[in-house]
Amino acid sequence: MPTVIVEGPKLSEERKRNLVERISKVVQEVYGIEHVTVIIHENLPENVGINGRLLSDRVKERKS
């Protein structure tokens, strides 16, 4: 059974439901199987850095 891990920002439960449903459908079609596991890891902006800067700092700058 394939496992798909998604790393990204926080999502509402409805968006997570949609994401899991759509990812599962594609993986099932490609592999020709029934069971797929999808794991969502939500990453807060203060826990992600891009080009040496935290995302939370970039967000704060855009707001000011």
Token pair of 20 as six digits? 């899991």
Number of domains present in the structure of the chain = 1
pTM, two decimals, is 0.80
Which structural domain, as residue segments, surrounds residue 54?
Answer: 3-63
- DSSP strands (E only) in the chain: 3-8, 37-42, 49-50, 53-54
Per-residue model confidence as pLDDT tens digits over 6-60: 999 999 999 999 999 999 999 999 999 999 999 999 999 999 999 999 999 986 6
Closest CA to 8 of 44, 58, 52, 59: 44
